[in-house]
Amino acid sequence: MQITINNHKYEANQGDRLLEVARLNHEHIGYFCGGNTICQTCYVKVLEGAELLSPLSEEEKAILSENLLKAGTRMACQATIEKPGTIRVVSAVEEVKHLLETSPLELGGYVATMGWEAMIKVPDTLRLQAGREFDLWQLFCDVLSGIGDGWKLIFNAFSFDCCSKEKGETKVC
């Protein structure tokens, strides 16, 4: 089956986590905690096919505000593909990049809104995180991998001035 992430089409299978599909295809998505439901940078907005994804996890219920849920927000490290069909998502990282490129003055409003939505869920988020047990070594490795890949993504996302198109291919210098 196909999934569209940030307007790019990819192959995916039932059971795949959205985060893995995005990472595998080097798509712009946040995952600084390496998929451990801590950093909250992996938000995606589901534009189509929400019913094909796994139900909201307890972690998402604790972390995502009512407004974010109404807007179709999921955490890519939590949501998996359960049924075949058409799924279209856009990542929060891509939304920020798009705002920076097209209407930077709106970026402040976007960041303030996301900050507010995160703040009103702080008590639930803290309760959730306090009750979790982590394999600290695995967490350390995941975070290291997330940070490393994250910086590469940030560099690639914002180095568009350094790119040139030749014969339909994008060359990054």
Interface residues with ligand FES (CB under 6 A) are 19, 31, 33, 35, 37-42, 75, 77
Closest CA to 91 of 10, 1, 172: 10
Q: Least distance to ligand FES from the beta carbon of 12, Å?
A: 18
The residue behind tokens 């307890």 is: 58
- When the beta carbons of 49 and 59 are compared against ligand FES, the nearer one is 59
Name residue 26's amino acid: H
Name residue 138's amino acid: Q
Q: Least distance to ligand FES from the beta carbon of 14, Å?
A: 20
- When the beta carbons of 6 and 37 are compared against ligand FES, the nearer one is 37
Q: What is the DSSP string of 32-66?
A: TTSSSS-S---EEEEEE-GGGBPPPPHHHHHHS-H
- Cα separation, 81 vs 21, in Å, equals 10
- Cα separation, 115 vs 97, in Å, equals 17
- When the beta carbons of 35 and 49 are compared against ligand FES, the nearer one is 35
Q: Is 31:42 a contact under the CB 8 Å cutoff?
A: yes
Q: Is 45:95 a contact under the CB 8 Å cutoff?
A: yes
Q: Least distance to ligand FES from the beta carbon of 63, Å?
A: 8
Q: Least distance to ligand FES from the beta carbon of 117, Å?
A: 14
Closest CA to 16 of 81, 84, 104: 81
- When the beta carbons of 12 and 33 are compared against ligand FES, the nearer one is 33
Q: Least distance to ligand FES from the beta carbon of 92, Å?
A: 11
- When the beta carbons of 36 and 97 are compared against ligand FES, the nearer one is 36
Q: Is 39:18 a contact under the CB 8 Å cutoff?
A: no
